Structure formats: C-alpha cells, structure tokens
Copies of this chain bind each other. A is one copy, B any other.
Amino acid sequence: MEERLDIHNSNIPKICRSCEVRHRGICGALSATELLEISKHTRQIKHEAGVELVSDGEPITSYATIMQGVIKLSKILEDGRQQVVGLQFAPDFIGRLFSQKNNLCAETASDVQVCRVPKKILENLIADNSELEHKLLEQTLKELDEAREWMVTLGRKTALEKVACFLYLIATHFDPAYFDEEKKQEKDVVFDLPLTRADIADFLGLTVETVSRQFTKLRTEKIIEITTRRHILIPDLNILKKCCG
C-alpha cells in the first residue's frame, strides 16, 4: 500500500477535509486518489432524530458512514413487537453489504450526520481495494462480537442488570473521553440519553414501565442521578458496572 499522502492536505477533497471521522471510519483505508474519486459521489446529509433511514425489506441503494450521532437498528414482528438489534455510533458503517435488500430498519436516534455513497460505487471500490474490504471485515467482526455480547444480556440478565448494561454501554460509547484512555476513573460521567424510554425498552426486551422502574431503583440507590429525564450523571462507573451482572 502506497503512502497515504495525508500530509499534503491539498490532495484531500474539500468535503472530506472537514470530516472528523475520516481516519477512523472506512475512508481511512482510502488513498488520496480514491478519496477524490469517491467524493464525487458522496453526499453529507443531516437528519434530525426519529427519521427512518432504511426500511426492512426495501432495496438497498446506498451505504453510509455515521459522522455524528446515534442510529438504532431494529426489527419488527408482524404483530408489532419490536426489538432493537444494535446501536451504531460515529464512525460506524451503515448498510448490509452485498445484499439486494435490507433485513432490518435503521432509524436516527439522535440528530445525525451521515455521509452517503451509492451502493455500486462503494462495491466497485471494495473490489479494487483489499484494505477497504479488510476494514469492513473488521467492523463486521466487531458488530458480531457486540451482537453476541448483547444476546447474553437479552437472554440471561434481569431487568435491573439490563438497564445497568445499557447505561454502561452508552456511557462508554458516547463520551469521547472514554475511548482513548482506559483510565475511566475519578470524575463523573455525564451524558444525554440518545434514546427514549420506549427505545430503551425495545433494546432490552422489556416494557417502558419496567425500564422506568429500574431507572428509579438505580436513582434511589445513588448509582445514577437523573436531572432531566434524558440527562444522566454517573458518579462512579465502576459501581454501575458491578450492576451489570
């Protein structure tokens, strides 16, 4: 693989230069030339919370990278029961590769900014660039790990443990500070929940009422503080972690 040429910023397309996740997402596998080529076809789009980006069963026309925000992936049974099967954060890749149609539904959970690329364009690029395919394999493996980890939570944990797991998940994924340094100690963790209670319930395989009760229980036990409904403060992440079972 040749030199990435990132030092010469002039070689990087203007639209990509302002992208904060360019190196961490799949575009990190692209050379300046490839970036230039692909950037002719990409569109950066902002969506507000609650927008359905892809629908279950619909044909796939494009893929995307999350630049900012949280996207929830869910499946719905005919009778209306819903299960959230994944949460994706920047700089995750969105879309079922190499498939004609979606087998799940993707909805913005918060305000979101994505960078869309047409299906064929990306697939052609993958065929030519094995580093890109490798990066996509790595992300897919990571998602599989996460899905299996969550299966344990869904199948074997109590309602309280599920809610604690969820808060722990959000706390460690949402605050950028907790990515780099493993020293996630000392100071309070504060964040806004990107999901409604209903979404959380669908993620945990519970009802809203049960989720609400577990929030209350965690609050009365001083493990979390709830300022407004969505705003959460966690005094000690390790104590919360112990609740995860």
Contacts and interface: CB of A to CB of B under 8 A. Distances in A.
A105 to B, nearest CB: 11
Identical subunits present: 2
A193 B203 CA distance: 31
A134 interface: yes
B79 A148 contact: no
Contacts of A133: 130, 133-134, 137
Contacts of A121: none
B83 A155 contact: yes
Contact of A156 (B82, B144, B157): B82
Interface string A106-129: 000000000000000000000000
B156 A73 contact: no
Contacts of A156: 77, 81-83, 205
A153 to B, nearest CB: 9
Given A137-B137, A154-B155, 16 more contacts: A77-B156, A79-B245, A81-B157, A85-B148, A85-B151, A85-B152, A96-B145, A97-B137, A99-B141, A103-B145, A133-B133, A136-B137, A144-B144, A151-B151, A155-B205, A156-B205
19 contacts: A73-B148, A75-B148, A77-B245, A79-B245, A83-B156, A96-B141, A96-B145, A97-B141, A99-B141, A103-B145, A103-B148, A104-B148, A130-B133, A140-B141, A140-B144, A147-B148, A147-B151, A154-B154, A155-B205
